[in-house]
Amino acid sequence: MSTSLGSALAGRHVLVTAGPTYEDLDPVRFLGNRSSGRMGFALAAAARAAGARVTLVAGPVVLPTPAGVERHDVRSAARMHRAVMDALPADLYIGAAAVADFTPATVAGHKIKKRPGGDGLVLELVRTRDILADVAAHPRRPALVVGFAAETRELQANALAKLRDKRLDLVCGNLVGGADGGFESADNTLEVYWAGGHRRLGPAPKTTVATELVALLAARLAAIPGHD
Ligand code: CTP
C-alpha cells in the first residue's frame, strides 16, 4: 500500500523520541539497549514529509538527521526527560525511544576495578522518570500522546495495559527479540491500539510503517474537536 501524506500535518508541532538511552556506570561503562533508533527517525521523517515542524530527541544512534528536522542529541534517560519537557508544547508526541527503566544509583568517578580474590559485583539501580507518562500528565499535554510497547510476549495485553496506565491516546505494540522485526531490523510490524480500535501496520520496511502510522495519527488529530 502506498500512502501519500500531502500536508496532513501542516501547522502542527510533532515531538518524537528515538533510540536507546545510555546510563553511565563509570567513566567507561554504561547500561544500554539494542534500539537502533530507525523507527523513531522514520517517524520524524514521515511527520516532516506531512508538513509538520518536527523536533527529534535522539539517544546515542548512528543515523543521519532527516531533512528539515530539528534534532537534539542526549545520552541518558534524565537528559531525554529534560529535552522533551523543554520542547513542549506539541500537538503530537511519539515516544519511540527505548528509555532505560533503571539507572545506576551512583556513577563511579573512576573505573570500577575488580578486587583481587573478590567474586561478583552487585549494582544498585534506581527507577528513571517515565517521560511518556509525564508528557501525558503534563499541563500542556499534546492533543495526541502515542507510546510504544516493545514486548517479548503477550503483546496485546501488555500494550493495552500501557495505553491505560500511562493515559495514552494510542499505543504501538511490537514484538521484539523475534525473527519478524523489532529493534535491530529494518522491517517492523506494529499492532496499533486505541480506545475501541486496532490496526495492524506491516510487516513492511520501517519507513513504510512510519508513513502509514503518521497518516493514521494525522487523521485522528484532525478528528479532535478544536484541532482540525
Ligand atoms: N518510556 C518513557 N520513559 C521511561 C520508560 C519508558 O518514556 N522511563 C516510554 C517509551 O518511550 C515507550 C513506552 O514508554 O513509548 C514503553 O516503554 P517499555 O520499556 O516498552 O515499557 P515500560 O513502560 O518500561 O514497561 P515494562 O518494563 O513493564 O515493559
Dmax of the chain from CA atoms? Answer: 67
Could you give phi then psi for residue 62, rounded to 5 degrees? Answer: -115, 70
Summarize pLDDT for 14-46 with one digit per residue, the tens.
999 999 999 999 999 999 999 999 999 999 999
Confidence label for 182 from pLDDT (cuts 50, 70 and 90) = low
Q: 130 by DSSP, 3-state: which? A: coil
C-beta 93 within 6 A of ligand 1: no
179 is a domain residue: yes
23 is a domain residue: yes
User: Is 33 a known active-site residue?
Assistant: yes
C-beta 131 within 6 A of ligand 1: yes
Taking each helix axis from N to C end, the angle separating 38-49 and 206-222, rounded to the nearest 10 degrees, works out to 50
Q: Range of 61's domain? A: 13-102+123-222
Domain count, the chain: 1
141 is a domain residue: yes
Question: How much of the chain exceeds pLDDT 90, in percent?
Answer: 85
The CA 9 to ligand 1 mean position distance, Å, reads: 26
| Per-residue confidence (pLDDT) for residue 183, from 0 to 100 | 63
What is d(CA 203, CA 213) in angstroms, rounded to the nearest whole number? Answer: 13
User: Whole-model pTM?
Assistant: 0.94
CA 76 to chain centre: 14
158 is a domain residue: yes
110 is a domain residue: no
- What's the average model confidence in pLDDT over 48-77? 98
107 is a domain residue: no
Confidence label for 4 from pLDDT (cuts 50, 70 and 90) = confident
Dihedral of CA atoms 130, 133, 139, 143 in degrees, nearest 10, equals 130
C-beta 25 within 6 A of ligand 1: no
Q: Residue 72 is part of a domain; what is its CATH number?
A: 3.40.50.10300
161 is a domain residue: yes
5 is a domain residue: no
